[in-house]
Amino acid sequence: MKIFYYTSILVLIGIIFISGCLGPGEKHVTPEPEIKPVYASPENGTNASPGDVMIDANNRFAFDLYANLSQSPDNTGKNLFFSPYSISTAFALASEGAKTQTAGEIRTVFHLPEKDLIRREGTAEVYERLNHGGAGYTLHTANALWAEKTYPFLPAYTGMAKKYYAADTVNLDFRHDLEGSRAAINAWTENQTEGKIRNLLPAGSIKTVTELVLTNAVYFEGSWMKEFSKNETAISRFHRSTGNDVEVPLMFRGEKETVLGYGETDDLQVLQMPYSRGDKKPVSMLVLLPKSGDLAAAESALNPEGLARIRASLGYRHVDVYFPKFTLDTSYELPGTLRAMGMPAAFSRGADFSGMDGTNTLYLDEVVHTAHAEVTEEGTYSAAASARAMIVKGPPPAYIPVQFRADHPFVFLIWDDETGNILFMGRVFDPSLPEREQPVMI
């Protein structure tokens, strides 16, 4: 029997809309906000394509959300992992039905363009790129709208969702069959994530006042372009920032025959490890490793300018890589975070999602984001594709390896090499696994 080993990343976000009735004398407050573009786009005289605009918007949101999550007391000393692309796409679709203050706040937080055509064509452009078929890794994304069957959503909204977001609208009976509706959404989730996420919406998450559930799923399954040998993996100490070391399986590979994208600053090492691509666009993991144990060196680079400098600095190097095996399982309820980031209106009874139904009765009840990552030794090797899978400069150097030893906290991204689109993002404080091989200290 042939066994295929892989690194898998799975993400799903669910947004739940419910309806609410206004009390006597209540009025919606919907002043028009001032929205200032902060990205390159055709709107402000640049030559960026609509897809470039949406990628830039996604990355800016990624940095904003990472900063908010990392600074939350609830996440102190914890691993983080999420898909900014998944969350951004879901809220771009939600923003299509929003108006006035609600629309302004969503577009500001997610850095979305005001012009409908740029936003929609850009989303479709990125979607087509990510769902490109062919050999190599598996990467696909999907959207869906789950609507109460008796609720009159506007055909203009559902038609737009289908045309630009490839989101089908499925009618369910939220009034009389809560569990059946929940099961249908969870079954879709399981199918889109190859059976990895089976119970996104727990019992009680769907209510009789639920009118719409918006879901986005991203699935990635890839193998390293050059694998880590299992024979080289050994148990080693990982130095947590709290001062309490843990023992983890630390993988190793020496780059004598191939080279990797590598760069460094006074306080940071950066490594780009490509995934096997076949005939697809290059995707890789970018690791930001502080030379000390202080993550601030890596986190200070998480901004558009910092990422651009990192991409420009990568060069061909022989690298001896020590990297931990790890599994991350994270789940976030995001209403509080998104309110704090500047979009409270969407979660209030003053929300204006009239672009969905022609009324002012819909508002956001819950936003759930679940992610899973597994990093192991296995992968495939293709020397011919190695250079093409990296954004690097300069000819291959003589064999003088640099050591990249990720035995202390680091930040990592999984991105599209050519465009810089951040698909997944996280930090590792503690990569210890529940099951370990026989300890062999390095």
User: DSSP letters along 206-271, please?
Assistant: S-TTEEEEEEEEEEEEE-BSSPPPGGG-EEEEE--TTS--EEEEEEEEE-SS--EEEEE-SSEEEE
**pLDDT band, residue 217 (cuts 50/70/90):** confident
Is the predicted pLDDT of residue 261 greater than 50, yes or no? Answer: yes
Which of 61-70, 214-223, 389-398 is predicted least confidently? 389-398
Is the predicted pLDDT of residue 439 greater than 70, yes or no? Answer: no
So what's the pLDDT on residue 300? Answer: 93
Average pLDDT estimate for 376-384: 40
Q: Residues spanned by CATH 3.30.497.10 within the chain? A: 7-131+138-222+328-373
> How many other C-beta atoms can be found within 10 angstroms of the C-beta atom of residue 392?
20
Distance in angstroms (rounded) separating the CA atoms of residues 415 and 421: 5
**pLDDT band, residue 24 (cuts 50/70/90):** very low
Q: Which amino acid is at 262?
A: Y
Burial 220-248 (b: 16+ CB within 10 A, else e): bbbbbbbbbeeeebbbbebebbeeeebeb
pLDDT tens digit string along 37-90?
334 444 544 578 999 999 999 999 999 999 999 999 999 889 999 999 999 999
Query: In Å, how far are 266, 281, 355, 370 from 67, measured between CA atoms?
Result: 22, 29, 31, 18
Q: What are phi and psi of 4, to 5 degrees?
A: -105, 120
State the chain's maximal CA–CA distance in angstroms.
Answer: 78
Of residues 381 and 137, the one with the higher pLDDT is 137
DSSP state of 427: E
Which of 36-40, 189-193, 273-277 is predicted least confidently? 36-40
CB 103 within 8 A of CB 360: no
- Report the residue count for the chain: 442
398 three-state secondary structure: coil
So what's the pLDDT on residue 5? Answer: 26
Distance in angstroms (rounded) separating the CA atoms of residues 301 and 291: 14
So what's the pLDDT on residue 321? Answer: 93
DSSP H helical ranges for 30-77: 50-71
CB 102 within 8 A of CB 226: no
**pLDDT band, residue 435 (cuts 50/70/90):** very low
Residues linked to residue 12 through DSSP beta bridges, in sequence order: 217, 370
Average pLDDT estimate for 331-337: 89
**pLDDT band, residue 199 (cuts 50/70/90):** confident
Q: Which two tokens stand for residue 164?
A: 């630009």
Which of 18-27, 34-43, 336-345 is predicted least confidently? 34-43
**pLDDT band, residue 254 (cuts 50/70/90):** confident
CATH number for the segment(s) 7-131+138-222+328-373: 3.30.497.10
DSSP H helical ranges for 316-382: 335-341, 354-357
Distance in angstroms (rounded) separating the CA atoms of residues 166 and 164: 6
Q: Which CATH number does the domain 233-323+382-428 belong to among 3.90.870.30, 1.10.540.10, 3.90.650.10, 2.30.39.10?
A: 2.30.39.10
So what's the pLDDT on residue 440? Answer: 34
> How many other C-beta atoms can be found within 10 angstroms of the C-beta atom of residue 320?
14
pLDDT tens digit string along 99-113?
999 999 999 999 999
Is the predicted pLDDT of residue 25 greater than 60, yes or no? Answer: no
So what's the pLDDT on residue 15? Answer: 60
Is the predicted pLDDT of residue 33 greater than 60, yes or no? Answer: no
So what's the pLDDT on residue 175? Answer: 93
Is the predicted pLDDT of residue 391 greater than 50, yes or no? Answer: no
Distance in angstroms (rounded) separating the CA atoms of residues 132 and 128: 6
Burial 278-313 (b: 16+ CB within 10 A, else e): eebbbbbbbbbbbeeeebebbbebbebebbeebbee
Distance in angstroms (rounded) separating the CA atoms of residues 261 and 319: 9
Which residue in this structure is represented by tokens 């009618």?
Answer: 171
pLDDT tens digit string along 395-431?
555 667 899 999 999 999 999 988 899 999 999 999 9
Is the predicted pLDDT of residue 434 greater than 50, yes or no? Answer: no
Average pLDDT estimate for 202-224: 86
